[in-house]
């Protein structure tokens, strides 16, 4: 195993072919199943985690539903299968939402968490006032934007021809990852809202949400 890498604790219900840390935590916590999850169930579960109500909640649920519908393929047969059977969470690897190395690279294709990539994430952050007291390392909106740009540039440098073809497509995919994670798991309000690096580490390694998110999911 490479230096700085941690193989996740045994949880056979979480497939290596599910590369999304948020979805992996949902499966590990038994909030949703690890295989086929009906789109209304999946979008409703994630919507609860946002804590939003009223019209914002309806908009968020619709957006989540649309993303989940294309997660396993964008062709008409894939769309019909998603609508009838749901999102297949253990078949997301190499699907339309897989960034193929243009992301954070914290979790690799073998479900190995790379601690050195979490440390790299922290270098893009700064110290924020913690609502629970003191300060902690985190990434706000601008830091997240800088981090994603650096990830894409790294991917372009590694595979220039491959990413030249996808230079418009992949930045759009990134908007559905870290900004959404900041929106759901962020601490603080407004310009002081940030994504805790410590909580990101727990999410990836332990596949566990902060208590405040757990409380929302159990509503």
pLDDT tens track for 12-31: 479 999 999 999 999 999 99
Instruction: Locate 205 and state its tokens.
Output: 């390694």
Beta-bridge mates of residue 139 = 195
Asked whether residue 213 carries a pLDDT value surpassing 70, the answer given is yes
Model-level pTM?
0.87
192: its two tokens:
């002081």
CB atoms within 10 A of CB 65: 19
Tokens 């789109």 belong to 39
Is there a contact between 92 and 17 (Cβ–Cβ < 8 Å)? yes
Taking only the tens place, the pLDDT of each residue in 183-200 is: 999 999 998 999 999 999
pLDDT, averaged across the chain: 88
Q: Mark 117-134 as b/e (b = at least 16 C-beta within 10 Å).
A: bbebbeebbeebebeeee
Bridge partners of 32, per DSSP, are: none
């Amino acid at each position: 195993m490479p230096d700085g890498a941690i193989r996740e604790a045994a949880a056979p219900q979480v497939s290596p072919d599910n590369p999304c840390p948020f979805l992996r935590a949902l499966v590990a916590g038994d909030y949703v199943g690890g295989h086929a999850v009906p789109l209304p169930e999946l979008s409703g579960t994630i919507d609860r985690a946002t804590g939003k109500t009223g019209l914002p909640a309806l908009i968020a649920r619709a957006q989540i539903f649309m993303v989940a519908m294309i997660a396993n393929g964008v062709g008409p047969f894939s769309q019909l299968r998603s609508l009838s059977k749901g999102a297949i969470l253990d078949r997301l690897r190499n699907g339309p939402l897989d960034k193929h190395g243009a992301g954070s690279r914290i979790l690799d294709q073998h479900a190995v968490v790379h601690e050195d990539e979490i440390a790299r994430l922290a270098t893009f952050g700064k110290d924020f006032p913690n609502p629970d007291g003191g300060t902690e390392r985190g990434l706000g909106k601008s830091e997240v934007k800088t981090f994603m740009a650096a990830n894409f540039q790294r991917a372009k440098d590694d595979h220039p021809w491959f990413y030249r073809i996808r230079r418009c497509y992949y930045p759009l995919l990134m908007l559905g990852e870290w900004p959404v994670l900041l929106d759901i798991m962020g601490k603080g309000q407004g310009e002081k809202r940030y994504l805790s690096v410590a909580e990101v580490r727990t999410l990836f390694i332990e596949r566990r949400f902060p208590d405040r998110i757990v409380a929302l999911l159990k509503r």
